[in-house]
Amino acid sequence: MKIVVLKFGGTSVGSIGRVKNVAKIIIRFLKKRYKVIVVSSAMAGETNKLVKLTKQISNNFISSEYDQVVASGEQVSCSLIAGKLNDQGYLSRSWLGWQIPIFTQGKYSHSRIVSINKKNIIKFLRAGGVPIIAGFQGVNSENRITTIGRGGSDATAIMLAKFFKAEKCIIYTDVDGVYTTDPRVVPRAKKIEKISYEEMLEMASLGAKVMQPHSIQDARLNRIDIEVRSSFKNVSGSLITKRKNVSTKKNIIRGVSFSKNDSKLTLVGVKDRPGVAAAIFEPLFRNSINVDMVVQNISSNEKETDLTFTIKNDDLIKTEKLIKKNKKIKFNNIIIDEKVSKVSIVGVGMITTPGVTYRMFNALAKKNINILVISTSEIKISVLVDRKNLKKAVDVLHKEFKLDY
């Protein structure tokens, strides 16, 4: 069987008109003789509405009932799609997590799919039916509804693609693919035809609207190719695939990503002793503050060092408070710059291509953009710059690494 898994996000089923459009997309695949497995999210806004109801009951709403409430959103949308297909003369039915069943383990709201019973779905596909499967949900060993914590409906689609050995897994969403950078910043940004899982993960800031990092990671671990495309216009999207499928000859760098709202903190004259970095970051970690770039300057004074790190602007007030009341550390001064941005170039090609770092720094220097902090990974180089330089930096790097054409 030539199986394709099509996943439709909340905005793709966000209105009756859009549900009807989803049916049209499915029928296109049926006409190409694909066996189609559909995964649907809840209609846009529904899940938030349901979550709000539980919060109004209690801020500690019991998670088993929470899962049952929020799972009702997908229950509705997948029936609407199946209903539309039946109306058009196609055999189709909805399947909820417990009906298949999609077995999950782990805590409520944070469950993970451990197995999928294929029997009934295979039988239905053989009979020419289109199963419309509720995303984001499963059933546990106690016969109760669970929801998947990480990746939601995307994760359901990826697991179905894996278990049913699908030829394709297409994630339909409201953007038409992954771009070399944000087109609002660089209008010349181009859609990326193919990108590796690893690059996609590193381009989180650009990709967040496309797919959750956890789902990309799931796809990577299971070697499932994912096509991301728009349900609103019939144009090809971006393929997220294995590294070896991604041609790196033409473009060493695949994209320029950035985060706008960062803050830089420098602790000047930290009394340097073993474990001091842990002492600084532990309270931040315990308060769910995500520390991004970290640089420890070489100290001129052997007993003292300067420590610089970045966080999201939203966490600044909390972070400052935690640092100042931290009795385990001593430092002379704290310097805060809340107007910085991070710009990154991403590409698996940089591993085998020397000089990428130099080209990046040189391009920025030519535009008089000062680099505040640098951090590198195998396939990404990030620099921190003044926020006023952000647009200029993204623009020059996009040009330097030939992403314009």
Do 297 and 305 meet the contact criterion of CB atoms below 8 Å apart?
yes
Q: Which residue has the tokens 């420098």?
A: 266
Tell which positions 368-387 bind a copy of itself, by CB under 8 A. none
Do 262 and 315 meet the contact criterion of CB atoms below 8 Å apart?
no
Binding segment for a copy of itself (CB under 8 A), chosen from 32-40, 48-56, 106-114, 241-249, is: 48-56
Q: Does 66 bind a copy of itself (CB under 8 A)?
A: yes
Binding segment for a copy of itself (CB under 8 A), chosen from 49-57, 149-157, 197-205, 395-403, is: 49-57
CA torsion sign for 278, 280, 281, 282 is: positive
Binding segment for a copy of itself (CB under 8 A), chosen from 54-62, 240-248, 341-349, 382-390, is: 54-62
Q: Does 361 bind a copy of itself (CB under 8 A)?
A: no
Q: Strands 168-173 and 102-105, how do they pair?
A: unpaired
Q: Does 80 bind a copy of itself (CB under 8 A)?
A: yes
Q: Does 86 bind a copy of itself (CB under 8 A)?
A: yes
Q: Which residue has the tokens 């971006």?
A: 238
Shortest reach from residue 50's CB to a copy of itself, in Å = 7
- Dist. CA 396–CA 363, nearest whole Å: 7
Show Cβ contacts of residue 225 under 8 Å, excluding neighbours closer than 6 positions.
Answer: 168, 169, 219, 239, 240, 241, 242, 245
Tell which positions 98-137 bind a copy of itself, by CB under 8 A. 98-99
Among 16, 114, 335, 365, binds a copy of itself (CB under 8 A): 16
Shortest reach from residue 28's CB to a copy of itself, in Å = 19
Separation of first and last alpha carbons in the chain: 39
CA torsion sign for 195, 197, 203, 208 is: positive
Q: Does 87 bind a copy of itself (CB under 8 A)?
A: yes
Show Cβ contacts of residue 52 under 8 Å, excluding neighbours closer than 6 positions.
Answer: none
Q: Does 64 bind a copy of itself (CB under 8 A)?
A: yes
Shortest reach from residue 99's CB to a copy of itself, in Å = 6
Chain residues in the site for a copy of itself (CB under 8 A): 16, 19-20, 50, 53-54, 56-58, 60-62, 64-66, 68-69, 71-72, 75-76, 79-80, 82-84, 86-87, 93-94, 96, 98-99, 143-145
